[in-house]
Amino acid sequence: MPQNPTIDQIRKLPFFFILGRPRSGTTLLRTLLDVHPNIIIPLENPSMIHLYFKYRYVKHWDVKNLNNIFCDFKNLNFIKSWKLDWEGIKDIFENLSKMQISFHEIIKLFYYHYQSEFTKEEIRCLCDKTPLNSLYSKEISRVFPGAKCIHLVRDYRANLASMSKHDVFSPSLTGILMQWKKSVNQISKLTVENPQRFFLVRYEDLVSDPEGTYKLICNFLKVKYMPELLDPEYRKNAINNIYASEFLNQWQPDLSGKISTSNIEKWKIDLSADSIRKADYIAGKTGQRFQYYSLSKAYSPVFILKVEIKKLLFHLNEMNRYLYDRLPYKMKIRIRNRKFILSHKFIQFYQKQFGKR
């Protein structure tokens, strides 16, 4: 890090979020912002929201609480891939018990000490890019008061086509679509309530006009627009240092190349006619607000009944997630480490008994 700011200077740094569903271009946007010399944006951290649920009632950060959150953060699976100055963080934590500090300010201290592969100068803002947080935008807005959010949205059918190729996501097409719909509706409502804090970016605009979109994003974040950062050569070597080749080949084969529009309408080839019809029925009206227009015109009563039953399963899944979020932190970690997700097991059982998707 090119400077040694005080604790108060780090605490006062603006914090913003990239909120978008998985496979919506969040990794591309994260990379384009990570290359900026004034922004720190670590790799994703899906467990931060669970730390919030554990510590949300803490009002005084005494030595015990500070030691607990330091150890919890250090032991997170995703954090093990981060390069962090742990000694520097520990030195700062030794003085925090004497101060009035909040959860989101403690998170800033961790994020500031992330060591990016890109050259940094004066740091003007910190960022989090975690697709899971798109389902927790209300909590994020509450726990990070004043934080700005870039809402990255992609055509619900393209998002469905991309997510359904990977087993790590929900095995239910209906579940993927309902999460897309729930996410954008929740963030859109917050945008109406706090328009100055939210900035909408469509994936299609980002890849079609990267220069214009990147300039608007920099203006929103109040950092200098540097068009040369869009040159693939600026990020190619760093990307190869950040990610394993297996990850890039499977998940982000185009990340280090020139930004392309080749994936915008790929869903028309990848999705079956039935999947497109289902996507339009579930998310079509919501998609129109973002200029994603439905191709389907009519739906049979039998089709509607089947989809509505699966939407009901989604709401059961959401109830399961709500309960899981409020489990004791150690129990959640054990469940995650076992890779046993009750809702997924239930959906798989349903598919085996009544047919797939």
Residue pLDDT, tens place only, 231-263? 998 888 888 888 888 888 888 888 988 999 999
The average pLDDT across 318-329 equals 88
pLDDT tens for each residue of 8-20: 899 999 999 999 9
What rounded mean pLDDT belongs to the chain? 90
The average pLDDT across 54-68 equals 93
| pLDDT of amino acid 355 | 57
Q: Is the pLDDT of residue 346 over 60?
A: no
pLDDT tens for each residue of 273-322: 999 999 999 999 999 999 999 999 899 999 999 999 999 999 998 998 88
Q: Domain-by-domain residue ranges, the chain?
A: 7-170+183-262
Instruction: 264-269: list long-range contacts, CB under 8 Å, 24+ apart.
Output: 264/155, 264/158, 264/203, 264/204, 264/207, 264/208, 265/158, 266/158, 266/161, 267/155, 267/157, 267/158, 267/160, 267/161, 267/162, 268/157
The whole-model pTM stands at 0.90
CA-to-CA separations, 157 to 76, 132, 173, 264, in angstroms, rounded = 33, 19, 10, 10
| pLDDT of amino acid 336 | 67
Q: What percent of the chain has pLDDT above 90?
A: 71
The average pLDDT across 89-116 equals 92
Of 274, 283, 272, 270, the residue nearest 176 (C-alpha): 283
CA distance 12 to 33: 20
CATH 3.10.20.30, domain 7-170+183-262, yes or no:
no
